[in-house]
Amino acid sequence: MQTVRDTDFRFKGQKGFYRGKVRDVYNINDEYLMMVVSDRISAFDVVLTKGIPYKGQVLNQIAAGFLDATSDIVPNWKIATPDPNVTFGHMCKPYPVEMIVRAYLTGSSWRLYKSGKREICGIPLPEGMKEHQKFEKPIITPTTKAGQGAHDEDISADEIISKGLVSEEEYRLLEKYTMEVFIRGSEIAAGRGLILVDTKYEFGNKDGQIYLIDEINTPDSSRYFYADGYQELFDKGLPQKQLSKEFVREWLMERNFQGQAGQQVPDMPEGFVQQVSDRYIELFEKITGTRFVKADISRVNERIEGNIKAFLESFL
């Protein structure tokens, strides 16, 4: 099976190109973005050695569905999805922070708590909490948006405003939109027997209007638990059954890799690659309530390029 590792297309109106950890982004006429969601997978801000079949399609289609389902809360950048791996939308100027929202003490927040810290991004945490415990109410723990090869850093709301990264008025709107989009996502997940545990949202500005940009509520940007069995597992202090990238991070940590300088990225065996692919497809079917239809990936880059070119001919 082919995977979308890298693209190097040339499109009508193309003004620039950017390769992120997972997405290849084409600037169209300095007005629109054509975002190709690859099958690359990253963890600890490092791109791993192999692509994951159908991962890009899963991420793109989940994100597109959630953007449509939340467009009444805040405008978003999406205009169309000309290919299963591609979203086309408005170019916005991104805000230099990522809005992380957490409903449970798990993952990196649990690792911080376990190390003795009782504050995240200026938000105090009570003593005596346990791993995977639900917060009294969801908390927003923003991070800076680091450049390529660097790690995002936790930052408080007060620091964001005092450093002039975002004006206070706009930041309060970002908080409002973040919480409302998260609540909507949580409601949708609950209807499918899942718990939306934590996630990140990114926002941009276009013509003075705040837009929700990039992906939302995907397994790359979010963590999901199964609702059925959550309480029993929590009461017993057992790991939660979850659908997210956390199991990939755990696999890496077991092999002494956490993205630190000098650490060698483990090579993923084919069996593990297939397991990751299956988990992504499982989440798609759970969260959407529909069967995942695998797109033809026999000549996947040619398919993507052809669909984009046909769309741009009709749109521009």
Rg of the chain, C-alpha, whole Å: 19
User: Class of 14-93+269-315 per CATH?
Assistant: alpha beta
pLDDT value of residue 219: 85
**Domain 94-247 is found in CATH 3.30.470.20:** yes
Other Cβ atoms closer than 10 A to 73: 15
Rounded CA separation 135/126 (Å): 10
Structure token pair of residue 54? 């159908």
Tallying the residues shown for the chain, one arrives at 316
For residue range 76-105, what is the model confidence (pLDDT) as tens digits? Answer: 999 999 999 999 999 999 999 999 999 999
CA dist 279 and 274 (Å) reads 9
Confidence of residue 49 (pLDDT cuts 50, 70, 90): confident
Confidence of residue 151 (pLDDT cuts 50, 70, 90): low
Domains 14-93+269-315 and 94-247 share a fold: no
How far apart, in whole angstroms, are the C-alpha atoms of residue 22 and residue 148? 12
Mean pLDDT confidence for 303-310: 98
Type of residue at 6? D
Mean pLDDT computed over every residue of the chain: 94
**Global pTM?**
0.91
pLDDT tens digits along 244-302: 777 898 899 999 999 898 899 999 999 999 999 998 898 899 989 999 999 999 999 99
The sign one gets for the Cα dihedral 298, 302, 305, 311 is: negative
What ranges do the domains of the chain cover?
14-93+269-315, 94-247
